[in-house]
Structure 1
């Protein structure tokens, strides 16, 4: 079976669900034989984007079921395919290739897929880190992918989102992590962080390193650094080192590969 069968340039814009389902099956089969082949990953990524854009759930269910049944495929989806699909969705929004509705729906489906597949692929351990999405934030996909990536690298990470500030702070106090990561999506969000970080420091019984990162770092890193956090960075190794957490050399290499 040729890898080029995954190429989609000749397919019409409206790809039938049956075609997407067949391609998902074919990708799973080829990955089972060849492993995480970069050529396969590159060829399948545009098709995966269409799977998450398509209203029919069948192709997505097929892909996720294959990932749940095969840990190696599941890790490839979480570590390579899904982040690339997220980047394609962002590119589609920035270039007007996709509408706001298209991107919002597909991103929600992708976030659900990360959560669902993570239950089968990622180890269950005590939390070393807590990643916060502030209650006023709307973005959920970037922190979901980041938390999933940390877990795959062996760093137990709890993602906390969609909670009022009081419940969020109480949960963190009970969890007792080694560090807190806060994901912010824009400069407007970063401007609201100081009261939240102040409340977090007041709530906790011991001093914890607090690191701010996320999409806002690319737009306004200076404002993130004024948020009251101990560190503002999107560099994974720097954040972990600041929290006095270490990954093995293999995990650090995987971080470079995923990036």
Structure 2
């Protein structure tokens, strides 16, 4: 399995392709403002990794960063992948690529965006390519986070801005009675939820959303969580699943469609192997309610 998904450059081909497809769908289905928020989430999260993890890491020359940024906005999307592969084959570690190149490129792209040196389309393209790269390197980058997952600890979060708390509180109570250690996030903002996942390695994260109006916030949250917790399975629950194709659009790994099935589904999702070569659980498309 591992040899089929990962090549000699440590790239997880499944996650790479999944991230590419997700960004393509987002640009087709979300309003421009929501797409811009997702792009900013990628740039901001990656740029902020540098001061946190970059101590002692030798920074590349500014000309190297400029070349990398150019590949991220190039006509041919293969140029960014080729640039990263060349770095690997020149002896650079994945950590050096992440800390010195990707983080620095995110900072530079953010600066150019703020100063109107890059168009919205260019930044969206570049952020999508950066996101795809880090998803492809997820097994290696995961080593920066908390090293041991707490097997029965799960983050259950209501999408920021949603005040329909009852279903989330009922689900948390149900999971606890089944033996799960539930961290319930209700009423917290986006950054607070992402920070929870950044400092604690959860066995799974369950996102509850109660309508399609929450899709922009949900998608941005999924992107942020993927960056800080690259191997944690993300699961979607709530009335938003009444919208066809929403799980694939926002990029989660699995869905929980009913409260009655929730304990069994969580066991299936949270206890999947998460090591190199493993694939995340696949959303159960046939159980997602479809509108006639």
Given the two structures, how large is their TM-score scaled by the length of structure 2?
0.37
TM-score relative to the length of structure 1: 0.41
